[in-house]
Amino acid sequence: MTAPTLIIGLGGIGSEIVSMVEEKAKISKSDISNVKFIIIDTDNGALLKEKRNGFEGTTIRISNNITVESCLQMNNLSREWYPRNQIFMNKTLTDGAGQVRAISRLALEHAVLQGLLEPLTDDIMELHWTQKNPDYKTLRIAVVSSLAGGTGSGLILPFAIYLSDYLKKNFEKNGYNMSGFFMMPDIILKGSEKNYIERISLNSNAYATIKELDDFIQRSVGTLDVKAEIKLVNGRRRNPDTALYNFNFLFGLLNNDEGYSGLRTSMEYKRMMADCIFVPYCSPINEENTSWEDNKFKHLSIMLTKDEGVKQYRHFGSIGVASMVYPYDDVRFYLTMVWAKDLMSDKWFHYDLKYEEELGKHNEMQKKGLIGKAFTKKGEFYRKAVESDIDAFSKDIKDDLTVLDIDAGTSMLAYEAYMKSLEEFIQAEVKNIVDKDFMSIEKANKMTLRSIARVNKLFGFRKKKEFNSLYRDRYGQMHKISNQIIYDVKKKMANYLFQPHSYVESKGKAYLLEAWIFENQRGDFVSPNAVRYFLEEACVLMKERAYILGKSVKDRANKHEAVQSQFKIAAAYNWNELTIRIKRLREDYEAVIREEVFLYCLQVGVKRVRNLADAYEKLFDDYRKGMEQLDERRELLKSEMQAVEGTRVKKVGCQEEYLNEMYNEMKKESSIYYGTLNKVYQQIYEMANEYAVDSNTNNGKGSSKWDTLLNQWKENFEDAYGSKFNVDVLSALEQEIRWNIERKNNGKPMADKAVKARMEEELERCATQLAAPFMSTALDPYKTVILENYFHSSLLKLKGIKKEIVLERLIAKNGIEESQMIDKYTINFYQSLFGVHAKYLKPFKQGEECYKDYDDITKYMHINGNREQILTPHLDRTWHRIDILPEIDPDIQVEKQKYLWVVLFYSYIMGRHIIKDNDAKYNIKDLALEHKQCSSLYDVMEIFKNCREDADKVFGEMDAAFSGCLIQTNSYKEDEFYKNYEKCDVITDIYLAYVCPLNETWVKGENVAEWFVLGWQYTLEKFLEKYTNVYESTMKKMMNDKIYLYKSKNKAKNDNMKIEDAIQKLDIALHGNGLARLKQ
């Protein structure tokens, strides 16, 4: 049973992916009774869209129709961190975050205050109280979002803090394991038309999110000192005391196999993320996945590894999934279409095309006024064309319908034989019915005739009037029964004869229409073209016969009227004549019944045959259109089968050349290849019959009829060739590899050992390259990869080299056999990359786009001079400062800290931008922004930290002053920088002036001395580079040594630069009570 699980989507992209996971779970029929799907967004429209698309989980809108300004007024605490930018004050929370992460944090805080997250806590409570398995105590949580947008990325950190607080407060004894699944901005930017502002916004949001996550998580487990804090809605200032996210899985544009080109569309990436979440959380194999993979995660990732002497919590990673698939359904459909195209050749539509050609000519002549009458109907045209043509196709149709009488040595066509059999059947049936129903009347008639004869002999003609009356009574009885028979029999017989019959029902019954449609005299099924001709000719014969019968029936009706009128003058007849007339009554009425029943049956039959002929005609039109599209459909399917680039799928058994060869093999078995036409012909009749019975099918359903026929072809393929093609994925792979090898070796087969090696290569490529996680990492020595695979249980029953592969390449590689989620055509590969430190994530390294855009956008945030209005990519308007939230890469942090001290050091030495007055105040001038007087160098440094454009101006001036042509003399003594440096006591005037106003605890936490030394070192190094004769190898080695300057044992050769003195003073300053002694 699945452990209690929450799968939560934050923002639009996160919600969309969670909806996909839920859909996969429903399709797989996994047991998800303990899984809750929740999507959270500020955009109500996006939530409603997911509901319309079938999402059945919980939707939470953390916004209402309130403006940002009103929200800030209701939550005073938010004013301490939210940027007071007037542009967004009138924006309502329901409009979404618009890539401003602070707005989504504001919306979450508002939602907490307003109780909008109650549906989330209700779901958690429900999971807790309805837990069926008491062994499960740990709640598993997957949080899904984008790193780049506004809503999702803005919620990643504060939502995790809120949720962890809630769980610790309400379920203190139960643990939880929360993992993040986050999409990188390069996926969103792929193929989009984002402008420059949108691009840098997406990339900088992603960098800021990772920076926040890593810092808060590192500090929560004690690997870094606490600096930044998040201010919660309850008024407390705090850092989270748990790890929040145990693991953070990132998904970028390219996978970790650098030779791979990525997926085709952003939707493919979303589906991939959905797969990566579905497998460990919802699939039938999630328990196996949880039981050992999570333990490895804890051992390798939660462990605080040491990297270059520094403890680091390595919580980043990624997941990749891939499949090896034998697309049997596609292979079957492809071969079916080729098969159908070949057997349902263009000659099927020969007369239809000819009709359209002649119709087009007729219409043209009609437009010119040369012809007035309408053109022949298609059915009549078809009949006459087949009848008159003498080509091979016409001959085949007629041969299909030829019926031979071997005894008589004659022949006729099927429609003629059918009409003959139909009439004979009706005659025989009518005779049987008449014999049965007239039996009592005939007995009475015979008695009457005998009585008349005796009376005539004894009395002569004296009683002829009375006997004449008796005769009329008998006549009336016979007439009445005859009408009743006609009424009862004709409808019943017509219904039986012309209702649809199956092949089995009609076999051997020549009087039934289907007996001639299904099978000819040779025992072969009649081709649809011959059926069309048969129906047209049968319709004509039926109409002609019905016309003749109609006249005969009318003549008999007139004759009976004459007989009845003669009864009035019957006395004029002699008894002999009346006796003869009585004997003829039986024969006359039998003929009447036979003709009227036959006429009615023909009338019904004409309608039935005409409808069926029209249905065949319509089907042929539909099929012809379908056949015209068949090549295109086949090409599209072929492209789809073979277009594996940009997918996570390796398809086997579907190469074009391989399939063509397999098709040629199919044709060699001619009895099977052509034998299936009988089924096709029968299926066409069944669909035509549906057309004929239901006239509504004539309206726009032709394509569905064609698709139905193709589906029938697929079923025929399964029956005929399923044993050869319907195999498992490893068997398909083996067959394809053997075919490829034999083709290259001119038909010479290769040994099993070589085939096995090739199969193993393909499996290895899928497991390692195709399933490589979509997150590029640098050479992290501590990263770890777990490989898994999932396959159908039936593969365990394979024999030979396939069995060896299952044991050695699947089961031995953490393989899990399963029969519910996976079919025999698929092997899924799952690869987990974890234990990665943030500094090894390539997209966030210095020089990459995310870092560059973040650096650019934070560099000029204060260009308007008002720090409170800055729209920082962070959740707090101060977190872009490196002294509050350090850089992801410690090396970059060192460079930036050094950079700030270089700026302070140089600007103070030069005295142009930092001027100290008599009151020990510092005036800053000639920079990008205007600043007030500062009371200490610490305040000056705060300006450089907040306003990077000022720092850049100072650094630019230094760089320009120290660059240029190298100078070969000792003229450095005349350099303005050297003269000013000579006058300055660096330790007292800069270092101590900076740190003295600060408390010792803060100084210790900030490692100010180290940054100061680095800045001092770099400034002097850049200056010395200008004068080559004094920058000797020993000096250069000392300056570039990785060990801090104050630990160097080298002695400076040029004491005029006070390097040695600086080292001695720094050595004192950085150890123990050195600060106190220097102050004295």
| Alpha-carbon gap, residue 886 to 640, rounded angstroms | 48
| Alpha-carbon gap, residue 509 to 886, rounded angstroms | 93
Q: Would you give the DSSP letter of residue 308?
A: T
Q: What is the pLDDT of residues 791-806, one digit of tens each?
A: 999 999 999 999 999 9
The pairing of beta strand 316-325 with beta strand 826-836: antiparallel
- Asked if residue 349 lies in contact with residue 621, where contact means CB atoms within 8 angstroms, the answer is no
Q: Show the beta-strand stretches assigned E in 610-691.
A: 649-651
The pLDDT value given to residue 1053: 32
Nearest to 60 by CA among 73, 45, 42, 74: 42
| Alpha-carbon gap, residue 785 to 818, rounded angstroms | 23
Greater confidence (859 vs 452) lies with 859
* 168 pLDDT higher than 50: yes
For residue 831, the SS3 value is strand
Half-sphere exposure for 593 (CA within 13 Å, toward CB): 31
For residue 668, the SS3 value is helix
* 251 pLDDT higher than 90: yes
Q: What is the pLDDT of residues 1044-1071, one digit of tens each?
A: 333 333 333 333 334 455 455 555 444 4
Q: Of 375-384, 471-480, 647-656, 817-826, which range is least confident? A: 471-480
- Asked if residue 526 lies in contact with residue 519, where contact means CB atoms within 8 angstroms, the answer is yes
The pLDDT value given to residue 38: 97
Average pLDDT over residues 154-164: 91
The pLDDT value given to residue 811: 94
In percent, the amount of the chain with pLDDT more than 70 equals 77
* 131 pLDDT higher than 70: no
Greater confidence (833 vs 1046) lies with 833
Q: What is the pLDDT of residues 171-186, one digit of tens each?
A: 877 888 899 999 999 8
Nearest to 1048 by CA among 1061, 1039, 1057, 1056: 1039
Sign of CA dihedral 391, 392, 393, 399: positive
Q: Give the orientation angle of helix 151-170 with respect to helix 118-129, to 10 degrees.
A: 40
The pairing of beta strand 784-792 with beta strand 176-183: unpaired
Tokens 């940054």 sit at which residue? Answer: 1011
Among left, alpha and beta (phi > 0; psi -120 to 50; other), residue 694 is: beta
Half-sphere exposure for 213 (CA within 13 Å, toward CB): 31
CATH 2.30.40.10 fits 5-326, yes or no: no
Average pLDDT over residues 740-767: 88
What average pLDDT is seen over the chain? 79
* 101 pLDDT higher than 80: yes
| Alpha-carbon gap, residue 789 to 776, rounded angstroms | 22
Q: What is the pLDDT of residues 280-301, one digit of tens each?
A: 888 877 666 555 455 555 545 5
Contacts of 609 (CB under 8 A, 6+ apart): 513, 535, 538, 539, 542
The pLDDT value given to residue 868: 45
- Asked if residue 579 lies in contact with residue 522, where contact means CB atoms within 8 angstroms, the answer is no
Amino acid at 706: W
For residue 561, the SS3 value is helix
Buried b (16+ CB within 10 A) or exposed e, 686-703: ebbbbbbeeeebeeebbe
Q: Of 206-220, 672-686, 857-871, which range is least confident? A: 857-871
Sign of CA dihedral 128, 132, 135, 141: negative
Radius of gyration of the chain (CA): 48
Q: How far is CA 357 from CA 350, 532, 617, in A?
A: 11, 19, 16
Average pLDDT over residues 698-713: 70
Nearest to 1017 by CA among 989, 1048, 996, 995: 1048
- Asked if residue 324 lies in contact with residue 644, where contact means CB atoms within 8 angstroms, the answer is no
Contacts of 1023 (CB under 8 A, 6+ apart): 962, 972, 975, 977, 978
Nearest to 845 by CA among 942, 904, 776: 776
Cβ atoms within 10 Å of 306's Cβ, excluding its own: 10
Q: Which of 393-402, 790-799, 1039-1048 has the highest mean pLDDT?
A: 790-799
The pLDDT value given to residue 1076: 36
What confidence tier does 159 reach under pLDDT thresholds 50, 70, 90?
Answer: very high
| Alpha-carbon gap, residue 827 to 810, rounded angstroms | 9
Q: Of 34-38, 289-293, 428-432, 936-940, which range is least confident? A: 289-293
| Alpha-carbon gap, residue 142 to 38, rounded angstroms | 10
Helix/strand number for the chain, H first, E second: 39, 19
The pLDDT value given to residue 1046: 36
- Written as six digits, the tokens of 854 are 């973040």
What confidence tier does 469 reach under pLDDT thresholds 50, 70, 90?
Answer: low
Contacts of 68 (CB under 8 A, 6+ apart): 88, 89, 90, 91, 92, 93, 103, 106
The pLDDT value given to residue 1054: 33
Tokens 């051992």 sit at which residue? Answer: 299
The pLDDT value given to residue 705: 76
Q: What is the pLDDT of residues 629-669, one digit of tens each?
A: 888 888 888 888 877 666 788 999 998 899 999 999 898 88
Q: What is the pLDDT of residues 517-564, one digit of tens each?
A: 888 888 888 889 999 999 999 999 999 999 999 888 888 777 666 555
Q: What is the pLDDT of residues 416-430, one digit of tens each?
A: 999 999 999 998 988
Average pLDDT over residues 965-993: 76
The pLDDT value given to residue 1020: 79
| Alpha-carbon gap, residue 411 to 439, rounded angstroms | 40
The pLDDT value given to residue 750: 80
* 1009 pLDDT higher than 60: yes
Q: Where are the domains of the chain?
A: 5-326, 339-643, 889-1079
Amino acid at 169: K
In percent, the amount of the chain with pLDDT more than 90 equals 24
Tokens 């437009």 sit at which residue? Answer: 367
* 462 pLDDT higher than 50: no
* 733 pLDDT higher than 70: yes
Nearest to 730 by CA among 796, 664, 665: 796
DSSP code string of 257-296: STT----SSHHHHHHHHHHHHHHHHTSTTHHHHHHHHHHH
Greater confidence (863 vs 125) lies with 125
- Asked if residue 247 lies in contact with residue 179, where contact means CB atoms within 8 angstroms, the answer is yes
The pLDDT value given to residue 934: 86
* 734 pLDDT higher than 50: yes
* 1039 pLDDT higher than 50: no
The pLDDT value given to residue 737: 93
Q: What is the pLDDT of residues 40-58, one digit of tens each?
A: 998 888 899 999 999 999 9
Which helix (H) or strand (E) element contains residue 787? Answer: strand 784-792
Which helix (H) or strand (E) element contains residue 629? Answer: helix 575-642
Average pLDDT over residues 605-625: 90
Average pLDDT over residues 226-255: 69
Q: Which of 223-227, 474-478, 541-545, 632-636 has the highest mean pLDDT?
A: 541-545
For residue 325, the SS3 value is strand
| Alpha-carbon gap, residue 896 to 888, rounded angstroms | 12
The pLDDT value given to residue 133: 59
- Asked if residue 169 lies in contact with residue 254, where contact means CB atoms within 8 angstroms, the answer is no
The pLDDT value given to residue 798: 94
| Alpha-carbon gap, residue 702 to 695, rounded angstroms | 12
The pLDDT value given to residue 1006: 60
The pLDDT value given to residue 1055: 31
For residue 59, the SS3 value is strand
**Hey, what's the torsion of the CAs at 808, 813, 819, 825, to 10 degrees?**
-70
| Alpha-carbon gap, residue 1075 to 476, rounded angstroms | 142
343 — phi, psi (to 5°)?
-80, -35
* 81 pLDDT higher than 70: yes
The pairing of beta strand 410-413 with beta strand 649-651: unpaired
- Written as six digits, the tokens of 711 are 């589906």
